Structure 1
């Protein structure tokens, strides 16, 4: 894996160097024979957006476009001379390497183009390039088989948690119906937008800003890939092992024990519950924190909610240390959060007992209600 990571970093550095080159001139990638012109990536000029910045960056991660010149224009004749065109031209034709999504006839989503995928968000130019070349790009960065399970898992994860957001924002698709409770103004698309000249700036040249946009989106893409490859994916094996050993922790089979804290376990719990066809929902997770103390945490109802499946008892919430130990009758208690989603104890045994008492109180409440 370290060799793959080094290769990914080398390619990222090459792409960043290329992105930093002139938008109207050849990039700083591998040298080409003098007689062979550098390939050209066409996109529109003027105000730029996150989707075409990412699309251009991703294309430059492919060997064939590594030293490509980015041509920013709306001139049809200049675009016709480009090897690949993204986000302009009014045409989606992958055989001709034309990847625009603005035409009225375009309704494609990931699910339309790849029926094995579940996402129905309309694609932007970034999504189109990722759909067609994402697996090839990831395989090249990591030195792994394009059709292997690691690339498949990372492809899906990066689309769902990185590219789809860019697709939706560029196409004006709201995250939810109704008025949002608060504004989101710090997402990647918004930060790219702020790199454009202000409306009242005397200099409206967008070339320098577009280069910065490519560096920004490319850097975040590579950082996210590195995290998912080296942290998120290995966590799955820990969670799966914890699920298989759950009855050794507690006879209920509803408590998982992880060997260390900080592991991104939540999404893996949800997916593995389905894949392993568990007969009942898991409720609580035990793990040690960095100080050597232990935590007991409720599993949330879903991946995008703060609501807990089984919060710790209400009478414990907001109580700390010795007062909590006296209240619960469990030695070594440290705290229970005011919402009940997590608590702490100085020992594994104490945290496990807090979990068992939580399960018992739930069962007692169910018995009373029935």
Structure 2
């Protein structure tokens, strides 16, 4: 039997545009046709319906979120009321990720990527479609907006004074679906091929830090990787006590053959460090810094003490070890 995806006609939004795209990434709905209508009789003939119909019932493949009493959330620490995009992603997301990346569903990386993509991409789409304020009074941000994709999808609708027949709007909907779906696919590719390998590097460094210094306060990376976000998430996942958390991170500079020692901030986006490099070193460079610190081949220590440099890995390690004692 030919599969049919149903959603509402007329003005379209980012959530159902993404929901339709995501469904076509599943094995079941890969070749499904699309029907845009609000006619209940026609919707009843569809295999799956999203964003219309007033029903949320996985068994019946009905995924609307507009009905009175609907309060479904993604879970796993996310409390945003779901839109049709979030509903489809919650039920089909792991399969979609596995299909796109040629992984098996039991691969532990699937769960990590599933949660990451919800946090960075779909959560905001859910919130915006449901009219949830990002900055409610006296509260921290409720979700993260990494792209204005919801607005860009909205802009693809005909203007209020621009006549457009149903066929034209349906064509624009497909364009919107391709737009938001393409960004989803791009984010998935990035997180799988760049973000996740960086996480593996940080996890290995965190595990091995006791071999770098007995204190466990120094992490050493032999290759550069973005580390801040991963470090904080892994510390939380591993339930590392405050007194056991690393203080300094050592890594090769991205653009030179020098090495960097960086103080771990108190939060991923904070300018305050857990323990800045010693005040007596701050703002000094080259021979002057080497003389004051007693460490050869020094390059600099930033005036705020959050980062410093040495020409060698051994020199950067000595800076970190000395700094722990000062």
> Which TM-score applies when normalising by structure 2?
0.85
Q: How has the CA–CA distance of structure 1 residues 326 and 109 changed in structure 2, closer, same or farther, with 3 Å as cutoff? A: same
Aligned partner of 1:272 in structure 2 is 234
Q: 2:78 aligns with which of 98, 119, 122?
A: 119
Aligned partner of 2:185 in structure 1 is 222
Aligned partner of 2:97 in structure 1 is 138
1:209: how far off?
3.0
CA displacement, residues 225-274 of structure 1 (integer Å, 9 cap, x when unaligned): 2222222223333223222321332232111001111x232333223334
Judge conservation of contact 2:81–2:126 (CA < 8 Å) in 1.
Answer: yes
Judge conservation of contact 2:120–2:146 (CA < 8 Å) in 1.
Answer: no
**Runs of 5+ in structure 1 lacking a partner?**
1-35, 112-116, 362-370
CA displacement, residues 169-190 of structure 1 (integer Å, 9 cap, x when unaligned): 2222233333899xx7952222
Judge conservation of contact 2:23–2:29 (CA < 8 Å) in 1.
Answer: yes
Q: How has the CA–CA distance of structure 1 residues 41 and 339 changed in structure 2, closer, same or farther, with 3 Å as cutoff? A: farther
Q: 2:218 aligns with which of 249, 255, 276?
A: 255
Q: Within 5 A, what are the aligned runs for 1:100-111?
A: 100-111=64-75
Do residues 238 (structure 1) and 197 (structure 2) align? no
Q: 1:354 aligns with which of 296, 305, 319?
A: 319
Q: Within 5 A, what are the aligned runs for 1:1-370?
A: 36-37=1-2, 39-111=3-75, 117-178=76-137, 186-201=147-162, 203=164, 205-261=168-224, 263-279=225-241, 280-290=244-254, 291-303=256-268, 305-313=270-278, 316=281, 320-321=285-286, 324-325=289-290, 328-337=293-302, 339-361=304-326
The DSSP-based 3-state class of the residue aligned with 1:64 is coil
Judge conservation of contact 2:216–2:246 (CA < 8 Å) in 1.
Answer: yes
The DSSP-based 3-state class of the residue aligned with 1:296 is strand
Judge conservation of contact 2:121–2:146 (CA < 8 Å) in 1.
Answer: no
The DSSP-based 3-state class of the residue aligned with 2:5 is strand
The DSSP-based 3-state class of the residue aligned with 1:42 is strand
1:336: how far off?
4.0
CA displacement, residues 87-106 of structure 1 (integer Å, 9 cap, x when unaligned): 11221111111111112210
Aligned residues: 319
CA displacement, residues 279-317 of structure 1 (integer Å, 9 cap, x when unaligned): 412121111123221122222323454543233345655
Deviates more, 1:126-135 or 1:301-310: 301-310
1:338: how far off?
5.4
Q: How has the CA–CA distance of structure 1 residues 307 and 93 changed in structure 2, closer, same or farther, with 3 Å as cutoff? A: farther
Judge conservation of contact 2:16–2:50 (CA < 8 Å) in 1.
Answer: yes
Q: Runs of 4+ in structure 1 displaced over 6 angstroms?
A: none
Q: How has the CA–CA distance of structure 1 residues 69 and 352 changed in structure 2, closer, same or farther, with 3 Å as cutoff? A: same
> What value does the CA root-mean-square deviation take over the aligned residues?
3.0
Q: How has the CA–CA distance of structure 1 residues 220 and 186 changed in structure 2, closer, same or farther, with 3 Å as cutoff? A: closer
**Runs of 5+ in structure 2 lacking a partner?**
none
Deviates more, 1:56-65 or 1:232-241: 232-241
Q: Distance in 1 between matches of 2:155 and 2:170?
A: 14
> Which TM-score applies when normalising by structure 1?
0.76
Judge conservation of contact 2:51–2:83 (CA < 8 Å) in 1.
Answer: yes
